[in-house]
Structure 1
């Protein structure tokens, strides 16, 4: 089974992403692009090497010139596309899915992912098996060895990053890259930021020695690394390094929801200017409260990186992201980027001389999110939503993406996943117990 969505395509490598399937997507992708260069890259999954080779060879046979970045973070390929003459890009990754999965993310000329309507056109080409042959002359293949370095140099030169101040702090940082695509990039960035680095799961082998999502329950090794090294902060990313989670100086995961809150607060403070922050419906209400306290506001969209990016463009927002640890900074490029997030969080930490990351986080509005899910094979999606509407009559309702029931200090959101055959159920309230009660009311 292949899962298709605005996040691209994903499937079990051996059974779903067969050579014929990969070649078909290469043809369809080529059809949708104007003539010109394409950047490609992948995360560290062992299956990615063969998939990327199949895809690139097919494009070359179609007359397309290719620049191969090999194993790099997804945002690095996005950055390279945006900052070059390339007409598009392709990343072979299944993001946070388990090791046996892989997938493809399709990038537009501006470095953003394919829009929903472009994804639909791509999928229709696959379903109808109708492709155009554009050229009888083979394209050229070019390896790229410097994309990560170019990406990092751009990050440390961002206007919202005070490089000198960060370097003067000489932070001790623990990092966990889940042996994924961030294994080379993140340590190198921290070196440029003047940090002493303690590594865990950073060999780039694609052998995921913990759960692939940077969730608190998957960060036991990083927590220990922070404490053993008396680190100022710990960072964890997912396999393609577009999401970032934080472990504080006490060895406690603060939850990936607060990555965006901390980054946005630091951005507002650094620029000393109110901002419009764009995020999705499932992101913490703490962001709204923090924005209000800083004379700023929050715009919300349907879940999905491209939905956030589209709204950022529409309202001319400089910063956005998602509650899964995704930071989007327009000045960097319009895509989730854990490397940008690391620089912004360290910049936030450097703004207060004598405060730890634990103290800075504790000063933010505090809410707790509980994340649950149900298998759509065992649940009637329509009936579940109808039952929820009957259960939460006292709330206001947002139908932008699934259904979200909202109160002044809490909410519960039901939506079909873009990447898995499940219904996601997120609830947030001032305490974990209050959030759990919302989910229990729904399930009962």
Structure 2
């Protein structure tokens, strides 16, 4: 059975399942089902991250484009948001070859229409179109036309708006690893006045997950920051649509807190976040409207469109992984920053550092001033939907929920649009959610202290396992 599957953002799977004919078939299905419905622009932009398999897969995507009459433009290695920005500029479709934060033995495809990311309905159309691809003969190698200006236009998007003195005096370590934005990030921060030191460059792929941090990355960041030489450390995941920022002590700032700081910096009116983001967005954000969605950038984008349709002003979205989506044009120091409704790592990094400068605070003090609480998460592996599904259904019922949570508190709210997220007395939350791409049940918690959040997760997984194994939570 193939591992290829649409997840929270694009198609992903093992390299062995994607290389060659499968990537050709999925790309051709996209062109036939989605791209050909968007009018007369017969160009497609192709970008890639730095993992070993990406260049070959990108060439295969170009072959598929040629087979259906599209002119392929090779944008090379660049951040996913930079590719999307170029697609918006040209009114062209785009395909990014990236596995984001997942390991080297996996990869994926992210598809863009001229107006942005594909929707969940588009994913269904692509899967339906796969059935027509089998009749195609041998793949013909057709070189793509190279394009080198997209990365510079993305750089100027931020350098021209923030200005040469925005980060003057800040000492920033740029953890380069194998991020596709590793040189761009260092150059951009330096152009804004920061004193930048690139560290940790790697010629082999490093799977940086900005939401579930590897122990070795945590240890490396703490060791670097222990010297006291830097005010902050920054990096991104593989395709640079998710940021990672650590304060002067080496403590990694949560992605949703980066989003909160950025939204406030931009003067957002409406904020759209998935249910996994912390509740500080409601109680500490000061926004006129907060809309919660299912997990995944397509749902956040749909939520931003809904908020704008309801008359919201500046509308933004962000995820627990830190990826920030700008749904409206905004003005920073009198300069216009156009909307970019796809996940982006650069804006939250720059806005967070600029916010510390503007407030005259250290990053740690700025975060502390938000009173955003603490979060924790973990998972139950080997838990298929046949086990977790009935449990979650019952957890959505008031009687079962009250009994289940009695050992730790009283449920005061519930959100069942993506798993079951329960608000408890004392401004705590526990959220159970099945993984979208693995047989596991995930548990997220937030509380006033890290220890309490970790205790809630530990209790939650034990209680869920017990309920599923004793028959409670089974239909």
TM-score tier (shorter): 0.7 to 0.9
Query: How many residues in Structure 1 have an aligned counterpart in Structure 2?
Result: 423
Kept in 2, the 8 Å contact 1:235–1:247? The answer is yes
Secondary structure, counterpart of 1:239 in structure 2: coil
Q: What is the alpha-carbon distance in structure 2 between the residues aligned to residue 66 and residue 229 of structure 1? A: 48
After TM superposition, the structure 1 stretch with the greater mean CA deviation from structure 2, 411-420 or 422-431, is 411-420
Residues 139 and 226 of structure 1, relative CA distance in 2, 3 Å threshold: same
Kept in 2, the 8 Å contact 1:7–1:419? The answer is no
Kept in 2, the 8 Å contact 1:63–1:138? The answer is no
Q: What is the alpha-carbon distance in structure 1 between the residues aligned to residue 29 and residue 44 of structure 2? A: 14
Residues 221 and 286 of structure 1, relative CA distance in 2, 3 Å threshold: same
Partner residue in 2 for 1:45: 51
Partner residue in 2 for 1:271: none
After TM superposition, the structure 1 stretch with the greater mean CA deviation from structure 2, 181-190 or 412-421, is 412-421
Partner residue in 2 for 1:313: 305
Q: Deviations over 1:237-262 (max 9, x none)?
A: 11111111211112222333321122
Secondary structure, counterpart of 2:221 in structure 1: helix
Secondary structure, counterpart of 1:428 in structure 2: strand
Secondary structure, counterpart of 2:432 in structure 1: strand
Structure 2 unpaired stretches of 5+: 309-313, 328-337, 464-475
Q: 1:410 and 2:428 equivalent?
A: yes
Pairwise CA distance, 1:333 = 0.6
After TM superposition, the structure 1 stretch with the greater mean CA deviation from structure 2, 297-306 or 217-226, is 217-226
In the TM superposition, 1:217-228 aligns within 5 A as: 217=215, 218-228=217-227
In the TM superposition, 1:80-99 aligns within 5 A as: 80-86=86-92, 88-99=93-104
Residues 138 and 222 of structure 1, relative CA distance in 2, 3 Å threshold: closer
In the TM superposition, 1:391-430 aligns within 5 A as: 391-392=404-405, 394-395=410-411, 396-407=413-424, 409-430=427-448
In the TM superposition, 1:132-171 aligns within 5 A as: 141-158=144-161, 161=162, 163-167=163-167, 169-171=168-170
Q: What is the alpha-carbon distance in structure 2 between the residues aligned to residue 424 and residue 139 of structure 1? A: 44
How high is the TM-score relative to the length of structure 1? 0.88
Q: 1:385 and 2:392 equivalent?
A: yes
Q: What is the alpha-carbon distance in structure 2 between the residues aligned to residue 140 and residue 44 of structure 1? A: 19
Pairwise CA distance, 1:150 = 0.5
Partner residue in 1 for 2:192: 193
Partner residue in 2 for 1:7: 9
Structure 1 unpaired stretches of 5+: 269-273
Q: 1:443 and 2:448 equivalent?
A: no
Question: Please, which of 340, 344, 349 is the counterpart of residue 342 of structure 1?
Answer: 349
Q: What is the alpha-carbon distance in structure 1 between the residues aligned to residue 437 and residue 81 of structure 2? A: 19
Pairwise CA distance, 1:415 = 2.0
Pairwise CA distance, 1:131 = 7.5
In the TM superposition, 1:3-152 aligns within 5 A as: 3-14=5-16, 16-31=17-32, 32-34=34-36, 35=40, 36-86=42-92, 88-110=93-115, 112-126=116-130, 128-130=131-133, 141-152=144-155
Residues 146 and 185 of structure 1, relative CA distance in 2, 3 Å threshold: same
Residues 296 and 339 of structure 1, relative CA distance in 2, 3 Å threshold: same
Q: Deviations over 1:46-71 (max 9, x none)?
A: 01111111111221232211111111
Residues 17 and 234 of structure 1, relative CA distance in 2, 3 Å threshold: same
Q: Deviations over 1:35-88 (max 9, x none)?
A: 4211111111001111111111221232211111111111111111112231x1
Q: What is the alpha-carbon distance in structure 1 between the residues aligned to residue 437 and residue 96 of structure 2? A: 16
Question: Please, which of 301, 322, 326 is the counterpart of residue 323 of structure 2?
Answer: 326
Q: Give the aligned CA root-mean-square deviation in angstroms.
A: 2.5
How high is the TM-score relative to the length of structure 2? 0.82
Secondary structure, counterpart of 2:229 in structure 1: coil
Partner residue in 2 for 1:290: 284
Residues 419 and 44 of structure 1, relative CA distance in 2, 3 Å threshold: farther
Kept in 2, the 8 Å contact 1:414–1:426? The answer is yes
